[in-house]
Structure 1
Amino acid sequence: MTNRSTTMRKTAPGADNVGTEAAARVADVLLLFAGGPRYLGVSAISRELGISKAVVYRILQSLVSREVLATDEGAAGYRLGPAAVALGASALRRFDARVAATPVLRRLREETGETTTLSGLVGDERVYLDQFESPREIKMTVDLGTRFPLHAGSSGKVILAFLPAERREAVLSRPLAALTERTVTDEAALREELAAIAAGGVAVSLGERQADAGSVAAPLIGPDGEVHGSISVCGPRYRFTPEAVDRYRALVRDAAEEIRRGWTWLRDSVTGAG
């Protein structure tokens, strides 16, 4: 039997809080790269996060040393590095909902003739993770990896409707930006709509995020019972007639349920399977 000695270290009062704050700053800097322009400089990050340039510079240099960020000769600012790309690829491989969604969304595209999408919840926003483009000449396509607010568009609203009350209230307590003239920015009206979405399990948008786009979305509920994203059918608004929307409601709701049944990532992460 081997004896092991353990060294006890006293932690200074408040040290845990300082460490947590520092980690949060690093995370905030990285999240700016996830949804912003390809290159970001010290001044832009400092303004956006309200952190001093000296602190931002130290964070950036630390991330560069670990290849999470990188710089290019002749380019102003920093970009995501190879380590960040590797982390992103690993996350996508582990996001089994994406694997489960692929055949379902392909079939949904064939059934509707419209583009189908998969969105993931990131903080209090969402990003498109995948899309299967319509075969039609006039169609809608989306920007993968770009962050969007939850209050505008069906993919965001359906996530917002199914969030835990505390997180939903945090989103609704902030100013609601109008992305188009059809974006619902009145808090009372939006709350009423979210209640209807939660009851029906489907959200509809006609020009709320993009003026000429229509979409119908359903939530992706994980094995833990929480909403982790959404799927949608989207296309030119003029094709989203009341009859088409009614048909898409049922198709999208059934597709989301099928994906949920095939979703095993949480079970595997808990049991260590795979």
Structure 2
Amino acid sequence: MAERTVPSSPQTSSQHPPSQHAVPPQGGTGTEAAARVADVLLLFTGGPEYLGVSTISRKLGISKAVVYRILQSLVSRDVLATTPGVTGYRLGPAAVALGASALRRFDAKTAAAPVLRRLRDETGETTTLSGLVGDERVYLEQFESRAEIKMTVDIGTRFPLHAGSSGKAILAQLPEWRREEILAGDLGALTDRTVTDPATLRQQLDAIGSDGVAVSLGERQSGAGSVAAALVTPDGEVHGAISVCGPEYRFTPEKIDRYRTLVRDATAEIIRNWANGKATGGHRS
């Protein structure tokens, strides 16, 4: 039997619950309510398709009564929906439309596409684009390797920033205060190679920040290797990261050194494309 492509798709985000953002005490009731609605919606971007009141209440630490009111409001606007005979709530047509619109309008996706396609052809490995979402990242685009054995990713799946090259590349470029907030949170292990010690992570992030490139060998997904760099605009805003990824056994020291240069150059080109698109009013769908 022919060997199937490996590694398998990434682990689902249900193994690492969405981060919970505390609302600053000075925030008014309106701010708190908006934050709670946002937190409820973010739960639906990872994990099971259907979520119930009790599950949401437990994950976010808010009362079932408050959760129920939020859910009913979102259902009335088609952001969430229910299915007859199925317990729980799922994303509704309005949420799907919003998501599709966001992906179409994400400037970096358009700017990155030709660069990632060429990078895939140069390396022979899958190339990806991740976007920063809250304190996590999500895959927005991939150009799959043409090799029989390859790595693929799940578009739209969220992952923590402390595990894997794309996450660490992003985390290394965030402001120190934000990085420290993340390192003070849940640093769960996704594999037996995931670094979960904050002190060790700080050392790694300092090195990544200086070099501009992160390397992962089995840290986020067993058997996978990747090299990534963050997408940072000239004003210092971090938007995401790009990566070259594939089976770990193909990521030899020689290839990693080569990919470092290619990925670093690719991010610079994407940022230039992005800036030029904005300056000329080019199509950014």
TM-score, L = length of structure 2: 0.86
Structure 2 equivalent of residue 147 of structure 1? 158
1:218 matched to 2:229? The reply is yes
Structure 2 equivalent of residue 6 of structure 1? none
TM-score, L = length of structure 1: 0.90
1:254 matched to 2:265? The reply is yes
Q: Alignment partner for residue 58 of structure 1, among 61, 69, 84?
A: 69
* Stretches (4+) displaced over 6 A: none
Structure 1 equivalent of residue 210 of structure 2? 199
1:235 matched to 2:256? The reply is no
CA-atom RMSD in angstroms: 2.0
Find the aligned partners of 2:68 and 2:189 in 1 and give their Cα distance: 34
Find the aligned partners of 1:168 and 1:117 in 2 and give their Cα distance: 23
Structure 2 equivalent of residue 127 of structure 1? 138
Alignment of 1:14-29 (within 5 A): 17-29=28-40
1:168 matched to 2:159? The reply is no
- Counterpart of 2:182 in 1: which secondary structure? helix
- Quote the sequence identity (%): 76
Distance 1:229 1:265, change over 3 A: farther
Find the aligned partners of 1:266 and 1:221 in 2 and give their Cα distance: 16
Higher RCO (C-alpha 8 Å, min separation 6): 2
Q: Deviations over 1:80-119 (max 9, x none)?
A: 1111111112211221100011111011000011000000
Q: Alignment partner for residue 75 of structure 1, among 71, 80, 86?
A: 86
Aligned-residue offset at 1:199:
0.6
Is the CA contact (8 Å cut-off) linking 1:223 and 1:264 kept in structure 2? no
Pair member with larger Rg: 1
- Counterpart of 1:180 in 2: which secondary structure? coil
1:215 corresponds to which letter in structure 2? S
Q: Alignment partner for residue 34 of structure 1, among 42, 45, 65?
A: 45
Find the aligned partners of 1:34 and 1:99 in 2 and give their Cα distance: 22
Aligned-residue offset at 1:224:
3.1
Aligned-residue offset at 1:74:
2.0
Q: Deviations over 1:115-150 (max 9, x none)?
A: 000000011110111111111111111111111110
Structure 2 equivalent of residue 46 of structure 1? 57
Structure 2 equivalent of residue 137 of structure 1? 148
Structure 1 equivalent of residue 117 of structure 2? 106
Count of residues in correspondence between the two structures? 258
- Counterpart of 1:142 in 2: which secondary structure? coil
Structure 2 equivalent of residue 187 of structure 1? 198
Q: Deviations over 1:227-259 (max 9, x none)?
A: 110000000000000001001000111111110
- Counterpart of 2:132 in 1: which secondary structure? strand
Structure 2 equivalent of residue 116 of structure 1? 127
